[in-house]
Chains A and B, each alone.
Chain A
Amino acid sequence: GQQVMQIPQYQHVQEGEDFTTYCNSSTTLSNIQWYKQRPGGHPVFLIQLVKSGEVKKQKRLTFQFGEAKKNSSLHITATQTTDVGTYFCAGLASGTYKYIFGTGTRLKVLA
């Protein structure tokens, strides 16, 4: 079946270091969304990427969608303690209305 693999599963960084999480899909995606979930909270939408090769930035966050629309990445520059949480990607498989979530990357930032 359709799968979206996300790595790494966990990441501990010192405050100020950069962080990257990657998503890889077994099938082509119509779009990909990124969410952040704080401990004890619910996923909160960050961004959606639709076009092949698309790059979007939100302050210290940079999102990329691969040329083949099967992979994506989220990069955080100079992490802060407020970045703590689990980051999920969610892909909409082409031709369907089903979202497949990655397993998430849990980020811890050490002050």
Chain B
Amino acid sequence: EAQVTQNPRYLITVTGKKLTVTCSQNMNHEYMSWYRQDPGLGLRQIYYSMNVEVTDKGDVPEGYKVSRKEKRNFPLILESPSPNQTSLYFCASSPTRAGGQSPVGYFGPGTRLTVT
């Protein structure tokens, strides 16, 4: 079954304690990205990756890191989480075609993070 998986699904942590949210897709997609969803603000892109070892900042990258060492995995790293990073996080993947048009975005189930 084609899917994007995220772990953990729920996480409560304290300020400053490094954490990693994993994301994996089994569709051999080139494009992967991370979003955060906050009430009234919709989905905002944090980072994206066009392919292995190719990453770039989205609209809200501050306080986050990513890596793309394998095509299927795209972890999101919070080196020193702060309360303003409390949010619902989604990973997504899609194939890319010539011209960079990504026809479909498959979203993971989401990770609800609370930083106290």
Contacts and interface: CB of A to CB of B under 8 A. Distances in A.
Interface of A: 1, 6, 9, 30-31, 33, 35, 42-45, 48, 50, 88, 90, 92, 97-104
A50 B106 CA distance: 18
A88 B42 contact: yes
Interface residues of B, number: 28
Given A43-B43, A43-B90, A92-B101, A101 B35 contact: yes
A103 B40 contact: yes
Contacts, number: 64
A100 B41 contact: no
A1 B59 CA distance: 9
B31 interface: yes
B56 interface: yes
B102 A92 contact: yes
Given A1-B59, A42-B110, A43-B90, A101 B104 contact: no
Interface in B82-116: 90, 92, 99-110
Contacts of B101: 30-31, 50, 92
Interface string B59-100: 100000000000000000000000000000010100000011
Given A42-B90, A98-B58, A90 B105 contact: yes
A50 B110 CA distance: 28
B33 interface: yes
A42 B42 contact: no
A99 B106 contact: no
A80 to B, nearest CB: 23
B68 to A, nearest CB: 13
Contact of B45 (A9, A45, A100): A100
A97 B109 contact: no
A100 to B, nearest CB: 7
